[in-house]
């Protein structure tokens, strides 16, 4: 077996400690656009705790993606310039608390070596646990390292993505992003200058900074929240999406949704540019 494959497959980092408060919870919700209408009580429940009439603050399920920002299985020694985010799959074991001390256990799940000059896909997971050791969420991320691969790993096939129904969407919604949305979302942890520095974005081949893929991921969660979940964050069991193209801050994201029992399938597009930005989306409610 390839030594490089074994090196990557063996990466593991257990017991990483993190903490967050209601401030981070509200910032994330605002970062994905909730509260754009400051009079919408359903959305205010995620960005404001209430004063004269107290109400419990709600936590967006995909806050799990930033609750332990920076956690991971370890240094992979990849060509970072050529690494892109491929997919996120979060399983929710219980609703996230408004504030918590948590631990993150990270490990590599599998390594898919596509061959020389074809890159490698690395799937790794992070399990978030509360102070009692109970699972809160399991996050599986796939990163595509275009500049690596061809080191002799096993010839494995990635699992097939979720299939979108062939019928017309059951619902279609438009979600407007703000021109400054990436500048807000980056405060949740991801300070990659690709999302904030115009000069850096141009050197990377983009006309201007792009929105974080994980912000778009959160926006799709928001789309399911406001439709089939009726703003019930505790209803989420799983949320999966594949990234296919970036969104520019200020664009309108159009989500097509299909409901089959407790499974919500979705895709997202930016119609003004004729591009699909999220493919093979799936939310499981329950």
DSSP per-residue letters across 89-110: EEEESSPPPSSEEEEEEEEEEE
User: Where do we find the tokens 């494995």?
Assistant: 156
Of 89, 148, 190, 256, which residue is the catalytic one?
190
**Token pair of 282 as six digits:** 């799936």
Cβ-proximal residues to 185 (8 Å cutoff; 6+ apart), any chain: 31, 32, 195, 211, 212, 214, 215
Contacts of 112 (CB under 8 A, 6+ apart): 120, 121, 122, 123, 153, 156, 157, 158
- In the residue annotation, 190 being an active-site residue is answered as yes
Contact 105, 15 (CB under 8 A): yes
Beta-carbon contacts of residue 230 (< 8 Å; ≥ 6 apart): none
DSSP assignment of 157-222: -PPPPPPPPSSPPSEEEEEEPPTTHHHHHGGGS---GGGT-HHHHHHTT-SSPPPPHHHHHHHHHH
| Catalytic residue check, 262 | no
- Give the Cα-Cα-Cα angle 283, 33, 66 (nearest 5 degrees): 65
CB-count exposure of residue 143 (10 Å: 0-12, 13-18, 19+): middle
Distance CA 85, CA 213 (A): 8
Q: Which of 195, 212, 239, 256 is catalytic?
A: 195
The residues annotated with a catalytic role in the active site are 190, 195
């Amino acid at each position: 077996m390839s030594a490089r494959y074994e090196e990557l497959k063996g990466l593991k980092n257990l017991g990483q400690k993190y903490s967050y408060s209601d401030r981070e919870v509200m910032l994330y919700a605002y970062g994905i656009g909730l509260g754009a209408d400051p009079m919408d009580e359903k959305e205010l429940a995620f960005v404001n705790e209430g004063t004269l009439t107290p109400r419990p603050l709600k936590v967006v399920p995909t806050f799990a993606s930033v609750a332990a920002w920076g956690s991971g299985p370890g240094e992979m020694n990849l060509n970072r310039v050529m690494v892109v985010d491929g997919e996120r799959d979060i399983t929710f074991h219980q609703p996230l608390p408004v504030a918590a001390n948590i631990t993150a256990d990270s490990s590599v799940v599998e390594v898919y070596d596509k061959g020389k000059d074809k890159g490698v896909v690395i799937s790794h997971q992070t399990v978030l646990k509360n102070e009692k050791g109970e699972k809160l969420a399991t996050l599986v991320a796939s990163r595509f390292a275009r500049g690596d691969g061809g080191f002799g790993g096993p010839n494995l096939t990635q699992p097939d993505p979720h299939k979108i129904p062939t019928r017309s969407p059951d619902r279609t919604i438009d979600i407007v992003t703000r021109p400054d949305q990436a500048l807000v979302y980056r405060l949740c942890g991801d300070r990659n200058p690709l999302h904030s520095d115009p000069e850096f974005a141009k050197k990377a081949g983009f006309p201007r900074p792009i929105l974080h893929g994980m912000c778009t991921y959160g926006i799709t969660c928001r789309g399911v929240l406001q439709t089939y979940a009726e703003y019930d964050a505790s209803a989420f069991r799983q949320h999966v999406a594949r990234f296919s193209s970036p969104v520019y801050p200020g664009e309108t994201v159009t989500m097509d949704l299909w409901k089959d029992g407790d499974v919500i399938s979705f895709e997202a597009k930016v119609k003004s540019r004729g591009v699909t930005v999220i493919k093979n989306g799936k939310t499981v409610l329950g």
